[in-house]
Amino acid sequence: MANNEESNPLLSPEVKDELKKPNKPVISSAAGTIPAAFPMTWTADGLPMGHGVVGELNRGQWDSGLCACFGRNDEFCSSDIEVCLLGMAPCVLYGSNAERLGSAPGTFANHCLLYTGLYMLGQSFFGSNCVAPFFTYPTRTAIRRKFNLEGSCEALNRSCGCCGSFVEDEVQREQCESACDFATHFFCHPCALCQEGRELRRRLPHPGFNAQQVVVMIPPGDQTMGR
């Protein structure tokens, strides 16, 4: 490499001294800074969610209580009464709930027939409908996760604060909520099916209702030939 003094004879002595100094590498502090990882939590439907500026998304409440057989006096009153009547035929109500939640062809028939078989099995061997809740309680868990609804453990902790350790840990809380979902179906099976039916009818349309777009043709206006 050519000497800077020979290639630049018009430079001042101060500039020449600066050029003779060895170059020091510049380390950028911004490039070496690694952002700290944000703590991750889990939403009700199993998806990770970080803590942002707004904070963790609060869980919603069930639209009606477990023992509110006739729902609320609102625009869904007739639907709530229908759900209450369908509670006398739990196989039909459970099939309807699974159809709205799954929205797949044949969902109603498959779940309704399977529930009927489990109902007859429980009545034949145990004299009660104690087998079907083992099959139906995951639907309640799916509804709670899909709409980010508050579970029984969180509601109990909010009211009396006795489940603090379970609520703080995500894995333990979900295990506790699943156990509460099963207990709700086992001990209050008809009421649980009705509550789930009211919740689904308020949040999801019937799968058979397929809204189609309507194309409206507007005729052109009167046209005149310019002169």
Is the torsion defined by CA of 102, 107, 111, 112 positive or negative?
positive
**46 is a domain residue:** no
Please indicate, yes or no, if residue 80 is contained in any of the structural domains: yes
Do the domain assignments include residue 139?
A: yes
Name the band, by pLDDT with cuts 50, 70 and 90, for residue 10.
low
Query: According to the model, what pLDDT value does residue 115 have?
Result: 97
C-alpha closest to that of 132 among 142, 120, 143, 140: 120
* Half-sphere exposure in the Cβ direction for 150 (13 Å, CA): 18
* C-alpha span between 91 and 39 (Å, rounded): 43
Higher pLDDT, 112 or 210: 112
pLDDT at residue 53 in the model:
38
Q: For residue 13, is it within any domain?
A: no
pLDDT in tens, 65-111: 898 888 777 778 888 889 999 999 999 999 999 999 987 778 899 99
Which pLDDT score is estimated for 212?
A: 54
Domain count, the chain: 1
Looking at residue 218, its pLDDT comes to 74
Residue 105 confidence (pLDDT): 77
| Cα–Cα distance measured from residue 81 to residue 104, given in angstroms and rounded to the nearest whole number | 26
Q: What pLDDT is recorded for position 185?
A: 97
Measured CA distances, 218 to 129, 211, 225 (Å)? 60, 22, 21
Got the DSSP string for 106-162?
THHHHHHHHHHHHHHHHHHHTSSS-STHHHHHHHHHHHHHHTTB--HHHHHHHHH--
Q: Is the pTM of this model over 0.85?
A: no
Output the average pLDDT for the chain.
78
The answer to whether residue 227 sits within a structural domain is no
Average pLDDT of the segment spanning 165-184 = 86
CA gap 198, 82 in Å, rounded = 9
Residues in CB range of 8: below 8 A, 6 or more apart: 16
Which residue type is seen at 1? M
Residue 120 lies in a domain: yes
Residue pLDDT, tens place only, 37-51: 444 444 444 444 444
Tell me what the mean pLDDT of segment 141-161 comes to.
Answer: 87
- φ, ψ of residue 41 in degrees (nearest 5): -120, -175
Confidence bin at 55 (pLDDT 50/70/90): very low
Rounded Cα gap, residues 59 and 41, in angstroms: 14
What's the residue count for the chain? 227
Distance CA 42, CA 82 (A): 36
> Using 50, 70 and 90 to split pLDDT, how confident is the model at 25?
low
pLDDT of residue 75: 77
Say if 36 falls within a structural domain.
no
Q: Could you tell me the residue range of the domain that residue 118 belongs to?
A: 76-203
